[in-house]
């Protein structure tokens, strides 16, 4: 009879959960990175367009051009606010995924330590039984040898 850990299935389930959460975390981190890049891009577009408007202001362009710029800036600012909230939401999801992963990781580690302890106890018990068996064999050999000598 070999070693059998009674919580082996639970340990395997925790390992699977951990793998899934690692995949989810990587996906969310990539998404967060993409959202942050888009936010930086929108802010840079706003900055560039504001400098373009300043150039147009110095040329004394038509008022229609300034109204167009202003509506464009309003839209860009709304997009930036929306993108900022997306970045914040994704960042929160990344944080939750990290916490979940940490929880599952700790649970798996506890189960692995429990498994190691049970396996160590099993090996010690088997070793004791083997030693006891060998002691009994040695004692019985000694006894029969001694008994043979007394008969002769």
3-state SS assignment for residue 20: helix
The per-residue pLDDT for 148 is 75
d(CA 94, CA 71): 34
pLDDT at 47 over 70: yes
Q: What is the pLDDT of residues 59-72, one digit of tens each?
A: 766 777 778 888 98
The per-residue pLDDT for 141 is 87
Q: Confirm whether pTM is higher than 0.75.
A: no
DSSP state of 2: -
Q: What is the pLDDT of residues 90-131, one digit of tens each?
A: 999 999 999 999 999 999 999 999 999 999 999 999 999 999
Sign of the dihedral defined by the CA atoms of residues 60, 66, 67, 68, in that order = positive
The per-residue pLDDT for 61 is 65
Region 34-50 average pLDDT: 94
pLDDT at 152 over 70: no
Q: How far is CA 125 from the centre of its chain?
A: 37
Q: How many CB atoms lie within 10 A of CB 28?
A: 19
Contacting residues for 95 by C-beta, under 8 A, at least 6 apart? none
Helices (H), the chain: 8-58, 63-151
């Amino acid at each position: 009879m070999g070693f059998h850990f009674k919580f082996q299935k639970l340990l395997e389930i925790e390992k699977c959960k951990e793998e899934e959460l690692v995949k989810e975390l990587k996906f969310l981190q990539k998404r967060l990175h993409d959202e942050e890049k888009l936010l930086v891009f929108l802010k840079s577009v706003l900055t560039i367009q504001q400098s373009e408007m300043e150039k147009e202001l110095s040329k004394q362009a038509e008022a229609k051009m300034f109204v167009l710029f202003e509506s464009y800036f309003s839209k860009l600012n709304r997009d930036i606010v929306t993108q900022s909230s997306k970045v914040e939401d994704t960042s929160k999801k990344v944080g939750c995924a990290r916490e979940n992963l940490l929880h599952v990781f700790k649970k798996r580690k506890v189960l692995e330590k429990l498994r190691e302890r049970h396996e160590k106890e099993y090996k010690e018990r088997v070793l004791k039984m083997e030693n006891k068996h060998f002691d009994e064999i040695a004692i019985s050999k000694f006894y029969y040898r001694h008994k043979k000598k007394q008969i002769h």
